[in-house]
Amino acid sequence: MLEVEQLVMEYGRFRAVDRCTLTVEKGHITGLIGPNGAGKTTLFNMIAGAITPTSGRIRYLGEEITGLPADKRFHRGLVRTFQIPHEFHRLTVLENLMMVPGRQAGESLLANWFAWGKVAQDEREIEARAHETLDFLELGHVADEKAGNLSGGQKKLLELGRTMMTDAKLVLLDEPAAGVNRTLLRKLEEKIAILNRERGYTFILIEHDMEMIEKLCHPVICMAEGRVLIEGDFKTVRSDPRVLEAYLGETVGDAA
């Protein structure tokens, strides 16, 4: 589904990502781990189109997308969430979801004048989808709450919900577990697993929470100093001496 080939991102003389090559298979939840500063988020930013690689290639669904703008990737189903949630904090939870699709007729001034029936119908459909999404995430009770008032975990669920308002195919999740309490964490894991199993989403998951990686991810890719160190099942990767060394003597489970 995704092929990253010899990807490089340089900031001045510093290589944040250094000839990174990896493949993501459709239908899998691929875990991306590695110590702080390994280049994981920088890699995500290049895959999502937020930054342009210094060199290398990215192919998605068989097509080269290296120079494609982020919004075009988004409309092809390549979407991401952020380490720090990007909600519109003064809008309600429901409004946050309704903001997402961005292709409804109401966005055009002309359509508002001449095709108001279509605009109204689009809006009703989007609202229904937003309610379904909130029900799925068990956030229905906070639909009218300002998003800024949600807990850290609820904001992470809302981020996941925003991907569900699109026809997402490949979802990049950047540290969904960070700042989330244990109860909501289990819920988040369950929802990711259902979206993968029943709705066919493919995920790449950056995470320091090794329990989550072990439960959800196969395969697991470990990066260090901008490069891919090893790829394999969780147990193999976790016990590889290069991985342990990359985490500077910590056990992988303590690395967060």
Ligand X SMILES: Nc1ncnc2c1ncn2[C@@H]1O[C@H](COP(=O)(O)OP(=O)(O)OP(=O)(O)O)[C@@H](O)[C@H]1O
Task: List contacts with ligand X (CB under 6 A).
Answer: 11, 16, 34, 36-42
Which residue, 68 or 178, has its beta carbon nearer to ligand X? 178
| Residue 69: CB minimum distance to ligand X, A | 19
Question: 3-state SS of the chain: helix, strand, coil percent to 5?
Answer: 45, 25, 35
| Residue 223: CB minimum distance to ligand X, A | 7
| Residue 118: CB minimum distance to ligand X, A | 42
Rounded CA-CA distance 224/220 in Å is 13
Which residue, 20 or 119, has its beta carbon nearer to ligand X? 20
Which residue, 37 or 200, has its beta carbon nearer to ligand X? 37
SS3 172: strand
| Residue 181: CB minimum distance to ligand X, A | 20
| Residue 82: CB minimum distance to ligand X, A | 11
Rounded CA-CA distance 72/24 in Å is 20
Which residue, 34 or 101, has its beta carbon nearer to ligand X? 34
Positive or negative torsion for Cα 71, 77, 78, 84? positive
Cβ(233)–Cβ(219) below 8 Å: yes
DSSP line for 133-166: HHHHTT-GGGTTSBGGGS-HHHHHHHHHHHHHTT
Cβ(20)–Cβ(39) below 8 Å: yes
Rounded CA-CA distance 133/73 in Å is 22
Which residue, 122 or 174, has its beta carbon nearer to ligand X? 174
Which residue, 50 or 61, has its beta carbon nearer to ligand X? 50
Rounded CA-CA distance 165/6 in Å is 32
| Residue 117: CB minimum distance to ligand X, A | 47
